[in-house]
Structure 1
């Protein structure tokens, strides 16, 4: 689309992060947070369509060109929320909006619920509620996660002979997405290595969470949001839990249901345009 994108590095007290910067310096500040095992390229098709916004599309810690967390640290949702807040502080944003996809949408919602006075808008793509545990399952789940952490040292990241093979592997794993989307994410997510290419992402990202919120806690965060919220739901997306869909009907959020899969904003230009039209309406509100 011929849109200028600036690559920036951000030195936080505990980690160095990378980001793509879009839009005019005097645009409305927006922090964009991608999904699990994605990177800042998640917004490559969407961000240029959102005129008048100053969008900082992060590589979250452990993803893309950002640093990995220190040994012994983890990747809990609340850690990402703190990262996002510190990035906003670095830019001097007292009030800002959040654009999030999947994991990024969940983190954005937690931050907006925790600090409603700081967040102007929430623009969410196929994500809102975190994965949860019933309280009685917490001990067993913590045990499973601790054992998995101990075993991580015995695992090696896969090496692919070519970029194309790495892209094909991405298409076979996790959430469905188009080859074009996988290629865009791979352009930032792969690093050359002896014998081919491997993913830059921190292997610890694939470990189970040590603890998860309960449903009651997750609902409390969502109900604590005070800003206007626009949620794009993909028809072939991930938000299908009847409990959460019923709760969504009770919330004062604007919900748009769009054709496509979980990465509808990245899969093709038509999907990106449709999502952009939804969010233009959100940001046009007084």
Structure 2
């Protein structure tokens, strides 16, 4: 088993909250009520779900690749914070797709997070990211170290987004041809449609059963649309071009250079049946140890669960986050 340097702990408790003057510790969970919002961007809008108070800055939730803001539907109501905003990345959920003629680059997501921060005039943000969303949080916290106060990562897939230099040429070649093929389908044919139960099965099996069937139904609330003219047929709302995820990856050397630039409080949560295993485990903890050297507070926790443990088993993850929140900020007077 890979060894962490002194100060990092593996257990079952911890997490995040925003700036103290905006996110003092709540005495109750945030609850289930939320408001749908749209944030204008040059190509359309970014859709989001906002739980809790709208008059204070929220903690920001960043979902995984080909998922949507619904990934936090079970977790958000259990958090003892006052405000939480999860949004759909471009091409995901209810957000606008980017125009044809270009792929979805990783750095575009970093820019979108920056755009949203500027739109709301937030100087610093606190992040809860899952998988790809946690990758974005990792890079954002490194590129803008003075703009992130707390960064919580749930089964972060950053080592999976890293590319091998010697394979990069072939990956770009395959991704380029795939992109052109998908764009041809988007222009010349309708998306494939299925009945509801088949949609649930496709999402469940497509995640390698990491997402349970019940959780699949949650993601489909904003992850599917009814096909026009057919009352019993649905298609995925996400952009078909998202399958070209090989475009814009970074070499592992980049990740190692970015890690020491992260200065915010950081909580790492890993599902033991998730994606951070084998060689990826060693690479992941190598970056985590580098973050520890530059950050005030870094903790790591292992829990039982799949890559989507926060969605399938939110009751295991929420106490970790709330406990960490309380460790950062004392109770209100």
TM-score range, shorter chain: over 0.9
Match of 2:264 in 1: 227
Match of 2:142 in 1: 113
User: For the structure 1 residues 157 and 9, does the alpha-carbon distance in structure 2 shift closer, same or farther, using more than 3 Å as the test?
Assistant: same
Match of 2:320 in 1: 278
Task: Report the Cα offset of residue 75 of structure 1.
Answer: 1.5
Could you tell me how far apart the structure 2 residues matched to 1:249 and 1:149 are?
Answer: 34
Q: Is the 8 A contact 1:98 1:122 kept in 2?
A: yes
TM-score (norm 1): 0.92
Count of aligned residue pairs for this structure pair: 282
Task: Report the Cα offset of residue 262 of structure 1.
Answer: 0.9
Could you tell me how far apart the structure 1 residues matched to 2:121 and 2:248 are?
Answer: 32
Q: CA RMSD in A?
A: 1.9
Match of 1:79 in 2: 108
Kindly name which structure, 1 or 2, has the bigger radius of gyration based on alpha carbons. Answer: 2
Q: Is the 8 A contact 2:107 2:248 kept in 1?
A: no
Within a 5 Å distance, the mapping from 1:148-159 to structure 2 comes to 148-152=178-182, 153-154=184-185, 157-159=191-193
Task: Report the Cα offset of residue 73 of structure 1.
Answer: 2.8
Could you tell me how far apart the structure 2 residues matched to 1:213 and 1:174 are?
Answer: 23
Q: Is the 8 A contact 1:23 1:51 kept in 2?
A: no
Q: Is the 8 A contact 1:31 1:88 kept in 2?
A: no
Task: Report the Cα offset of residue 89 of structure 1.
Answer: 1.5
Secondary structure of 2:116 counterpart = helix
Report which structure shows greater RCO (CA 8 Å, sep ≥6): 2
Within a 5 Å distance, the mapping from 1:211-250 to structure 2 comes to 211-240=248-277, 241-248=280-287, 250=289
Could you tell me how far apart the structure 1 residues matched to 2:288 and 2:258 are?
Answer: 16
**Is 1:93 aligned to 2:126, yes or no?**
no
Structure 2, unaligned runs of 5 or more: 1-29, 293-297
Secondary structure of 2:162 counterpart = coil
User: For the structure 1 residues 110 and 239, does the alpha-carbon distance in structure 2 shift closer, same or farther, using more than 3 Å as the test?
Assistant: same
**Is 1:183 aligned to 2:217, yes or no?**
yes
User: For the structure 1 residues 214 and 15, does the alpha-carbon distance in structure 2 shift closer, same or farther, using more than 3 Å as the test?
Assistant: same
**Is 1:34 aligned to 2:74, yes or no?**
no
Between 1:239-248 and 1:61-70, the stretch displaced more is: 239-248
User: For the structure 1 residues 146 and 133, does the alpha-carbon distance in structure 2 shift closer, same or farther, using more than 3 Å as the test?
Assistant: same
Could you tell me how far apart the structure 2 residues matched to 1:28 and 1:91 are?
Answer: 9
Could you tell me how far apart the structure 1 residues matched to 2:124 and 2:31 are?
Answer: 29
Q: Is the 8 A contact 1:65 1:200 kept in 2?
A: yes
**Is 1:264 aligned to 2:309, yes or no?**
yes
User: For the structure 1 residues 258 and 242, does the alpha-carbon distance in structure 2 shift closer, same or farther, using more than 3 Å as the test?
Assistant: closer
TM-score (norm 2): 0.80
Task: Report the Cα offset of residue 246 of structure 1.
Answer: 4.1
Structure 1, unaligned runs of 5 or more: none
User: For the structure 1 residues 106 and 140, does the alpha-carbon distance in structure 2 shift closer, same or farther, using more than 3 Å as the test?
Assistant: same
Could you tell me how far apart the structure 1 residues matched to 2:261 and 2:44 are?
Answer: 29
Could you tell me how far apart the structure 1 residues matched to 2:119 and 2:141 are?
Answer: 18
Task: Report the Cα offset of residue 283 of structure 1.
Answer: 2.5
